[in-house]
A and B are shown apart, each in its own frame.
Chain A
Amino acid sequence: MLGQQIINGLVAGSAYALFALGLTLMFGVLGVVNLTYGFYFAVGAYLALLAAGAGAPIALALPLAAILAGLVAVVLDFLLLTRLRRTRAPELASLMVTLGATLFLYSAMSALLGSEIRRFPAGLLDNGAFALGAYRISVGQILIVGTAVLLSLGLVSLMGATRTGLAMRALAENSDASELMGVDTQAIMRRVSFLSGALGGAAGVLIGLEYNAIAPYMGEAMTLKGFAIIILGGLGNIGGALAAGLLVGVLEALTAGYVSSVYKEAVGFLLLVLTLWVRPQGLFGRPGARRA
């Protein structure tokens, strides 16, 4: 059972990591705790559902949903945060604005679409599972783990090896200085918003597919856990988010398997509280980061 539980944990952990990637990018570069991220997650899932309902295969529905979710993110970022950036409001103001916006968006979404769980049409994804010795891994699970790893690698190399990435890192360090150095900060911010929105949307599609459940509030529970994960991984640290996501996923599965499923839910949050006491910069963060 241990092997299968670790597989379960790695799959769930990849889903968390996939979700946390865009969140930590947004925080790392834009310096904003953006709670609307969970909304992009749900938007992505619903858009893919719509596309799949119209007969699109998953290979089309997934990128389409991701791109549209990215555009939604750019628009929301513009509406909610430009004013606060201009007035140099404290970071808590942006947290509160996105909190209010999230409440509004979730409730409006469930008022419009109903709060019932929706599911993708059967057969959108191959239902088959590979037997690896005694273990079972489904196509959906491979898709999730694979996408999480690929996207983290892609993001790390984007940040490390391209001009845009360089500009993003500059912005993350100091937005005034990078502006003076001739970086078009507005354009970079839009790109980061788009990218993280698209990542959130893609995560929504894949996780909605794997657990076959889409609901307006699906992002809320995920966002809470996502924040625990990005703090564990060190705020803004992409590799850290991946590692922390996998860690939480595996620990949850092992807790459910060997201790009790009762405590599964609390694992991530207990880890977070411990981290804040012992190592507030995160398990993988640079020391001294983000002190007041």
Chain B
Amino acid sequence: MTHAPKLSPSRRSVFLCALLGFAVLARGAEAADPITIGAIEILSGPNAKYGFSIKNGFDLALEEVNRAGGVRGRPLAIAYEDTGGSKEQAINAARQLIARTKAPLLLGPTLSTEMFAVGPIANERKVPIIGTSTTANGVTAIGPYVFRTSLPEADVVPVTLRTAQAKFGVKKVAVLYGRDDAFTKSGYDVMKAALEKLGVETLATETFGAKDTDFSAQLTKIKSLDPDAVVMSALADAGAGILLAKEAQGFAPKVRFIGGNGLNSPKVLEIAGAAADGLLVGSPWFIGKTDAANQKFIADYKAKYGGEPDQFAAQAYDALHVAASAINAAKDVTGEAIRDALTKTKIVGVTGPLSFTPDRDPADSSGVLVLEVEHGAFKILD
């Protein structure tokens, strides 16, 4: 039996007072002009699901920031621009946010390929830009105004592979990756480097295309080489398809499948079902993390949006807190001042401690978790 939570009369009045307090605060804040920052995300088209996760994360953190008094005594606001996943739209969006909206700071864009087009523009105008989901190599090398809060694959993948080597004695592997997608290709580059560093032998490197649904030829070849594990860089759909196909080909259960960040998705479990059991993935964030900040984030997110947050929402949530903290600390509200403040910002977010390296990548990878699928659910491997 569960009971619907009921508020006792005294508690209810406290709740009411709190609400009134917020209302007063909110009105006070409204009097001042908001500081508007820009966000460039994919809010339409096939990849809109990522953009909306990120937007939800931003909006939730934005509410918290404004409830706590905003930034520099003024409310914070976000102006969103949609890219639809297109490079041209992303460039138009960035130029409008910088020149028309006069945003002193940009968040986004969603994809690394969009960042390669937008980053140089922000850099030219000395407006700091923070990617929250751009994991590819070379993103922050675009220029001194380009930051990211998403751990690059280069930080996540080695942890996963090291764990697999230590726990399951993986010595020889086959690699399978999506060749025509920037995210999966850059994941592969990292895997290759990490495998070499760990001294794991790579028996074969196979690829597939984004629209492929037939993986039988690649898997037949891999199976004939008898690897200890298959390391794959794939998005959720293709990854689940590969897991189903390896089941159909009768791979031994002891052959571990190890994925990058792209496979860290409930969708993989939903599609692949029992075939996903034994899958290992690395993740900068996990819904099952029990620390108080994370639990509060998940509860607030569910209350506001109804569904469960994913890692993109979590990373976006942290990024907005980073942005707010830097705007508060900056000596004025110009791009240059905010950039300087960002380099010194340190917060503890739901993905763990967050600060930037001199190259503007996230400094701390202690939040990385290795997850294993067991009976159709992710759990932390320990």
Is any CB of A less than 8 Å from a CB of B in the complex? Answer: yes
A242 surroundings in chain B (CB, below 8 A): none
- Nearest A residue (CB) for B215: A211
Q: B266-280, CB under 8 A of A: which get 1 and which 0?
A: 000001010000000
User: How far is A261 from B207 in the complex, measured between Cα atoms in Å?
Assistant: 6
A252 surroundings in chain B (CB, below 8 A): 217
User: How far is A127 from B218 in the complex, measured between Cα atoms in Å?
Assistant: 21
Known: A136-B249, A213-B241, A262-B207. A1 touches B220 (CB 8 A): yes
- Nearest A residue (CB) for B220: A4
User: Do A136 and B214 touch across chains, with their CB atoms under 8 A apart?
Assistant: no
- Nearest A residue (CB) for B249: A136
User: Do B217 and A253 touch across chains, with their CB atoms under 8 A apart?
Assistant: yes
B253 within 8 A of A: no
Determine, out of A28-36, A78-86, A110-118, the stretch whose residues face the partner at the interface: A110-118
Known: A1-B220, A5-B221. A211 touches B46 (CB 8 A): no
A278 within 8 A of B: no
Q: Nearest chain A CB to B55's CB is how many angstroms away?
A: 18
> In the complex, which of the residues A9, A218, A253 has the most CB atoms of chain B within 10 Å of its own CB atom?
A253
A261 surroundings in chain B (CB, below 8 A): 206-208, 217-218, 221
A136 surroundings in chain B (CB, below 8 A): 248-250
A115 surroundings in chain B (CB, below 8 A): 46
B217 in complex: contacting residue of A9, A116, A122, A211, CB < 8 Å: A9
B179 within 8 A of A: yes
User: Do B248 and A138 touch across chains, with their CB atoms under 8 A apart?
Assistant: yes
User: Do A211 and B220 touch across chains, with their CB atoms under 8 A apart?
Assistant: no
Q: Nearest chain A CB to B272's CB is how many angstroms away?
A: 10
Q: A1-15, CB under 8 A of B: which get 1 and which 0?
A: 100110011011001
Which residues from 206 to 239 on chain B have a C-beta closer than 8 Å to any C-beta of chain A? 206-209, 211, 213-214, 216-218, 220-221, 224, 237
Q: Nearest chain A CB to B188's CB is how many angstroms away?
A: 12
A129 within 8 A of B: yes
User: How far is A217 from B213 in the complex, measured between Cα atoms in Å?
Assistant: 12
User: Do A256 and B221 touch across chains, with their CB atoms under 8 A apart?
Assistant: yes
B214 surroundings in chain A (CB, below 8 A): 12, 15, 211
B25 within 8 A of A: no
A257 within 8 A of B: yes
A4 surroundings in chain B (CB, below 8 A): 220, 224
> In the complex, which of the residues A12, A119, A122, A221 has the most CB atoms of chain B within 10 Å of its own CB atom?
A119
User: How far is A127 from B245 in the complex, measured between Cα atoms in Å?
Assistant: 11
User: Do B217 and A265 touch across chains, with their CB atoms under 8 A apart?
Assistant: no
Q: Nearest chain B CB to A94's CB is how many angstroms away?
A: 26
B271 surroundings in chain A (CB, below 8 A): 117, 119
A119 surroundings in chain B (CB, below 8 A): 271
User: How far is A253 from B249 in the complex, measured between Cα atoms in Å?
Assistant: 15
A212 within 8 A of B: yes
Known: A119-B271, A221-B211, A262-B207. A11 touches B217 (CB 8 A): no
Q: B196-210, CB under 8 A of A: which get 1 and which 0?
A: 000000000011110
User: How far is A278 from B338 in the complex, measured between Cα atoms in Å?
Assistant: 64
Known: A212-B241, A261-B207. A12 touches B250 (CB 8 A): no
Q: A117-129, CB under 8 A of B: which get 1 and which 0?
A: 1010010000101
A264 surroundings in chain B (CB, below 8 A): 217
User: Do A211 and B213 touch across chains, with their CB atoms under 8 A apart?
Assistant: yes
A211 surroundings in chain B (CB, below 8 A): 213-214, 241
Q: Nearest chain A CB to B289's CB is how many angstroms away?
A: 27
Which residues from 1 to 59 on chain A have a C-beta closer than 8 Å to any C-beta of chain B? 1, 4-5, 8-9, 11-12, 15
A256 surroundings in chain B (CB, below 8 A): 206, 217-218, 221
User: How far is A261 from B215 in the complex, measured between Cα atoms in Å?
Assistant: 10
Which residues from 249 to 277 on chain A have a C-beta closer than 8 Å to any C-beta of chain B? 252-253, 256-257, 260-262, 264-265
A260 surroundings in chain B (CB, below 8 A): 206-207
B244 within 8 A of A: yes
Q: Nearest chain A CB to B225's CB is how many angstroms away?
A: 9
Q: Nearest chain A CB to B220's CB is how many angstroms away?
A: 5
User: How far is A203 from B208 in the complex, measured between Cα atoms in Å?
Assistant: 22
> In the complex, which of the residues B179, B209, B217, B271 has the most CB atoms of chain A within 10 Å of its own CB atom?
B217
Which residues from 185 to 235 on chain A have a C-beta closer than 8 Å to any C-beta of chain B? 211-213, 217-218, 221
User: Do B211 and A116 touch across chains, with their CB atoms under 8 A apart?
Assistant: no
A257 in complex: contacting residue of B209, B220, B248, CB < 8 Å: B220
Q: Nearest chain B CB to A75's CB is how many angstroms away?
A: 28
Q: Nearest chain B CB to A262's CB is how many angstroms away?
A: 5
Q: Nearest chain B CB to A96's CB is how many angstroms away?
A: 24
User: How far is A257 from B237 in the complex, measured between Cα atoms in Å?
Assistant: 23
User: How far is A212 from B246 in the complex, measured between Cα atoms in Å?
Assistant: 13
Q: Nearest chain B CB to A110's CB is how many angstroms away?
A: 7
- Nearest B residue (CB) for A4: B220
User: Do A5 and B46 touch across chains, with their CB atoms under 8 A apart?
Assistant: no
User: How far is A119 from B271 in the complex, measured between Cα atoms in Å?
Assistant: 8
5 tightest A-B contacts by CB? A256-B217, A211-B213, A1-B224, A115-B46, A213-B213
Known: A257-B217, A261-B221, A264-B217. 19 other contacts (CB 8 A): A5-B221, A8-B216, A8-B217, A12-B216, A117-B271, A122-B273, A136-B248, A136-B250, A138-B248, A211-B214, A213-B237, A221-B211, A256-B206, A257-B220, A257-B221, A261-B206, A261-B218, A262-B179, A265-B209
> Which residues of A does B touch, CB under 8 Å?
1, 4-5, 8-9, 11-12, 15, 110, 115-117, 119, 122, 127, 129, 136, 138, 211-213, 217-218, 221, 252-253, 256-257, 260-262, 264-265
List 17 interface pairs A-B (beta carbons < 8 Å), by A numbering. A5-B220, A5-B221, A8-B217, A12-B216, A12-B217, A110-B46, A117-B241, A136-B248, A211-B214, A256-B218, A257-B217, A261-B206, A261-B207, A261-B217, A261-B218, A262-B179, A265-B209
